[in-house]
Structure formats: structure tokens, C-alpha cells
Amino acid sequence: ADPTADVEGHDAAAKAAILAGLAFHSRVTMADVACQGMSSVTAADVDAARSMGHVIKLLAVAERTNDGAAIGVRVNPVMVARTHPLASVRESFNAVFVEAEAAGDLMFYGRGAGGAPTASAVLGDLVAIARNRVLGARDPGESTYAALPISPAGAARARHYLSIDVH
């Protein structure tokens, strides 16, 4: 009911921390994620992006630094070309776009909010818990064998759009 966590990127930051931890086998917490929400985006920004063939999306980005020695994780508004698959993600849908050397570009897309998706996730967790209790087992533990450090916010190189009104 309260969209603040979505608009300000807190929900995306939590998901980014989980996905970065899984992808890079390192402990990543929400505190490690540099987060800037959509509230700073103006109508003029949206119009400027549109005139350049882009849309503005709140993206969570998790990546290894160029030398591969650290991880950068951030959430911020990004101009995405209208031709990119992420540009068409709308409403309650989420997408994960993966760029991998061996696999190329991959995108996973589906509902990320609402009664049925949430119920499905909760039910799946309950079934896993019940199965583990019956079998006397536990789910696999956290895989942090890489233990890569997290780059400080702002350390990643990125392109920026700058708009200046001059009289």
C-alpha cells in the first residue's frame, strides 16, 4: 500500500544485495548497496530522456569491477534506450538482465508483486521448510567462498546525463 520502498529503491536494493551475494559468492548486505530513488527525477528529465529515445528506469546494478577484485552494487535512476529489453518492463513486473561472458545476454522476467506471486513465494518457502523438517535436513548454507570486497559508493565508472538551464 505504501510505495515508498519501491519509489526510493529500498526494495530493489534488498533484491540486489541477495542477487549479488548469489552471483559473486560473497556476503552483500543492503548497507553495501548505494541507493538513490526516483523522487529526484523530474518531468523535464522524463521529457529529455524521451527526446533522446530513452526511458528512465530505476535499476539495481551488481557488477564486478574491471579488474574483478571487488563488487559494486547500486540502485539509481538510469536512462535506458527504448530498444533495450528492460525498457518494456512495467507495472508489477520485474526483470533481471544478465550480461555474462560465457552465456551472453539473458533476461528473466515475471511478476514481482501482488497476491499470487507473493503467495507462491511464501508457499514455496513453507513447503521447503516442511520437507526439510521431515527429512531432518537443512537447505544449503550461504556460499561466500569468493569473499570479494564491496567497492564504496561512487567508485564505479558510469555515464551521467547533465542538464543545465542557462539564461
Question: Could you give the residue numbers annotated as active site?
Answer: 15
- Tell me which amino acid residue 125 is: D
CA 36 – CA 28 distance, rounded (Å): 18
52's CB contacts (< 8 A; 6+ apart) are: 79
Which residues partner with 96 through β-bridges? 108
The sign one gets for the Cα dihedral 22, 23, 26, 27 is negative
Single out the residue of 19, 9, 20 nearest to residue 150, CA to CA: 20
- Asked whether the beta carbons of 46 and 52 are under 8 A apart, the reply is no
